[in-house]
Amino acid sequence: MDAALTPRNPARVPATIDALLAWGADELDAAGIATARVDAAVLIGHVLDMSRGEVEAKAVTRAPVDPALMVTIVDAVTRRAAREPLQHITGVAYFRGITLHVGPGVFVPRPETETVAQFAIDALLARPTAEPLAVDLGSGSGALALALATEVPHARVVAVERTPAAVPWTRRNVGRLGDGRVELVVGDLADALPQLNGQVDVVVSNPPYIPERAVPRDPEVRLHDPVEALYSGADGLDAMRAVAATAMRLLSPGGTLVVEHGEEQADAVAGILRMAGLRAVATHRDLVGRDRATVATR
């Protein structure tokens, strides 16, 4: 093995899963990754076609690793140590029980967005129609649209996405998981779907909401997430204003809008929704107690 493969040089690491796991965890910890051992196990499992649990079990028995595959594991860990997103290396992201294909050009769905999905799912289930209709504005990977379609199987869902780099990922995931009930519409969320004005039961969106001069703390976000999915005007809320106006146009009376936003934006977002004409505006916290989702009614 080439001794220059990584800065910390795994050349003398024995070709066993336990040794690779220990080395990988140490490498990622040194790179400042909080989930170092988990990520190392996921990467090893990705290369060896094992689950993370299987990797941990094989580590106990000091199972051997083919030298060629060891080189591939070293490469994967090196990429992650350089703060390339784990999901870009494995090519998949997990969201509420579904597996999404992701990569450069599309926003990687975050765990906190699962809370947003739950509010939209609950609102969709509450609609007294045989086939409720939902719209996901700025769908990206399709995570929200597909979660709604999966968990509310009698619903019809439209995913709206315009970014050329993201659309192939949306199309790929919708094609795999949409089961014919999710339609992808390529277009801008600001003027999307005029043919559905006044007919939609639930609008959900995780729009870009970072102010244009802000610098995201995490290198994975700053260096790898698409700028179109991050930044939106001086206060970060230009896209939110467009979402509010579009939701007001699309929703039927009693329909629900669910949006994700930054934890310090709750008051501003509530004001935007009220200004657009929406009512019963309520902010909700995510699983770690941060103001993350706001729900409003047409």
Binding positions for substrate: 206-209
How far is residue 23's CA from residue 10's CA, in Å, rounded to a whole number?
7
As annotated, the binding site for S-adenosyl-L-methionine includes: 138-142, 161, 206
Sequence-separated (6 or more) residues with CB below 8 Å from residue 61: none
State the Cα torsion 88-89-95-99 to the nearest 10°.
110
Neighbour-count burial for 112-132, b at 16+ CB within 10 Å, e otherwise: bbbbbbbbbbebbeebeeeeb
As annotated, the binding site includes: 138-142, 161, 206-209
How far is residue 236's CA from residue 214's CA, in Å, rounded to a whole number?
9
Which segments within the chain are labelled E, that is strand?
92-95, 98-101, 133-137, 156-161, 182-186, 200-205, 251-260, 279-285, 291-297
